[in-house]
Amino acid sequence: MLAQRTLVKSRLLVKTAHSTPLPLLAHDVGRFMIKGVYGLARTSHLSPHHKIVSVMMLPPVLSIAAEAAHVALPLASWQLLGQKPMNVLWLAITLFVLFLIAILGFFFVRYGKLWFQAYMSVADVSLMSLIRMHFTKVNPNVIVQAKVMSAQAGLNISRRDGISTRRLEAHYLAGGNVMNVIHAIIAAHRAEIPLDFDQAAAIDLAGRDVLDAVQTSVYPKVIDCPDPSRTGKTTLSAITKNGIELRVRARVTVRTNIEQLIGGATEDTVIARVGEAIISSIGSTTDHFKVLENPDMITRVVLSRGLDAQTAFEIVSIDIADIDVGENIGARLQSDQAEADTRVARAEAESRRAEAIAEEQQMKAKVAENRSQLVLAEAKVPMAMAEAFRGGRISAPTNH
């Protein structure tokens, strides 16, 4: 094999490095290293077993290259002054090639395992992409794992219109959760839910849990109405037209509407709308017995109102879980009204009584006043009679 021949030649070159002229040494090091690395890179026609062996031969070759460079660089320190310009040029080229090989060896030692994993998984992650991630501060483990999962799940990972390495890096740098997005796309792909990478990434960057949204689409979620964890209440209170209170507990089955997930209303809105519709439907019923006999009448009316409009959910069903008869609100209101009327009548009677007492006192005062005037008038009668006798206007009766 080419890798084995390259390894044997490299070891022979290291052994003879001290006795080989510098130009020839530089030429041999550069030629066999470039040829060996190029040959190891072209393994697409080999079987998987030979691919693994060829790739495993690359670290020893790079290690021996570093050893050859370690031998060649000290030789250059004392041979450089005695060389011709052409030899100096060859030396510079050799040193540059060795420098590039050393850099390549460093990155291969660091990211070779990830590259080999991606290569064997047909994940289309090049070594240059891993090197680029090193400089852009992208976690290569996350990107490689995401590409491997996408490839093995049968997703489109083409560089043109698929889940490419560049797009994953961009989403990672934008602050998105790459693994959550990939898990969501795989789940949607298996469930035959239309969800592409751009849409999933947009949902993730908007702050929504895209994986939970897909799982809710596959397995609908049941919401209690009302929700005790949000409102502290366990039942809805509604009153029919005959004044009877009904305490209702409903369960709403919803699934995520991915198209409306960004900008759509949340669970709280759905719960509020359903509760309002149930109370309104019961309130329009003439008799509470109708609701008790046929609870699905309420659910049909509520479902027909389209309560899931402009929300992030689609209502699958609304079920009345429990109905209890509460107080007779109508009778209580009538009793309260009668009591209020009684209090008003008593107040009015007390007012009239007070007015009568006041009028009685006024009449008594007038009687006393008139009595005093009578006494004064009676006191003037004797004086008037005496004056009349003196004036002869009145005479005493004579006896016959």
- Based on the structure, what is the number of domains in the chain? 3
Note the pLDDT of residue 179: 94
Across 254-271, average pLDDT: 87
pTM: 0.58
Please report, rounded to a whole number, the percentage of residues in the chain having pLDDT higher than 90.
20
* Domain membership flag for residue 368: no
CB-based burial label for 350 (10 Å; 0-12, 13-18, 19+): exposed
**Most confident stretch, 100-104, 338-342, 390-394:** 338-342
150 with 108, same domain: the answer is no
11 with 111, same domain: the answer is yes
Question: Residues 112-154: pLDDT tens digits?
Answer: 788 888 888 888 888 888 888 888 899 999 999 999 999 999 8
CB-based burial label for 285 (10 Å; 0-12, 13-18, 19+): buried
* Domain membership flag for residue 258: yes
197 with 227, same domain: the answer is no
**Domain containing residue 196:** 140-218
Across 230-248, average pLDDT: 86
211 with 238, same domain: the answer is no
Instruction: Please give the C-alpha separations between residue 384 and each of 344, 380, 387, 394, in angstroms, as whole numbers.
Output: 60, 6, 5, 11
Q: Residue 281: which CATH number?
A: 3.30.479.30
Asked whether the predicted pLDDT for residue 187 surpasses 60, the reply is yes
* Domain membership flag for residue 338: no
* Residue 2 CB contacts under 8 Å (≥ 6 apart), including other chains: 36, 39, 40, 54
209 with 230, same domain: the answer is no
Taking all residues of the chain, what is their mean pLDDT, rounded to a whole number?
Answer: 78
242 with 179, same domain: the answer is no
Residue ending a domain, among 218, 249, 264, is 218
* Domain membership flag for residue 132: no
* Domain membership flag for residue 371: no
> Is the Cβ–Cβ distance between 251 and 225 less than 8 Å?
yes
288 with 323, same domain: the answer is yes
Identify whether 194 is preceded by a cis peptide bond (ω within 30 of 0): no
110 with 10, same domain: the answer is yes
* Domain membership flag for residue 345: no
114 with 168, same domain: the answer is no
Residue ending a domain, among 288, 307, 331, is 331
Residue ending a domain, among 218, 252, 275, is 218
Asked whether the predicted pLDDT for residue 46 surpasses 60, the reply is no
Least confident of 19-23, 133-137, 240-244, 389-393: 19-23
Which residue carries 């006999």 as its tokens? 293
146 with 225, same domain: the answer is no
Question: Closest Cα to residue 203, out of 195, 193, 215?
Answer: 195
13 with 37, same domain: the answer is yes
Helical residues (DSSP H) of the chain, grouped into ranges: 2-15, 22-41, 48-79, 85-120, 127-136, 140-152, 165-173, 178-190, 197-205, 210-218, 228-231, 267-283, 288-293, 296-303, 329-390
Q: For residues 231 and 303, which has the higher predicted lDDT (pLDDT)?
A: 303
Asked whether the predicted pLDDT for residue 389 surpasses 50, the reply is yes
* Domain membership flag for residue 128: no
Asked whether the predicted pLDDT for residue 263 surpasses 70, the reply is yes
As a whole number of Å, the CA-based R_g of the chain is 52
9 with 84, same domain: the answer is yes
* Domain membership flag for residue 64: yes
Q: How far apart are CA 138 and CA 145, in angstroms?
A: 13
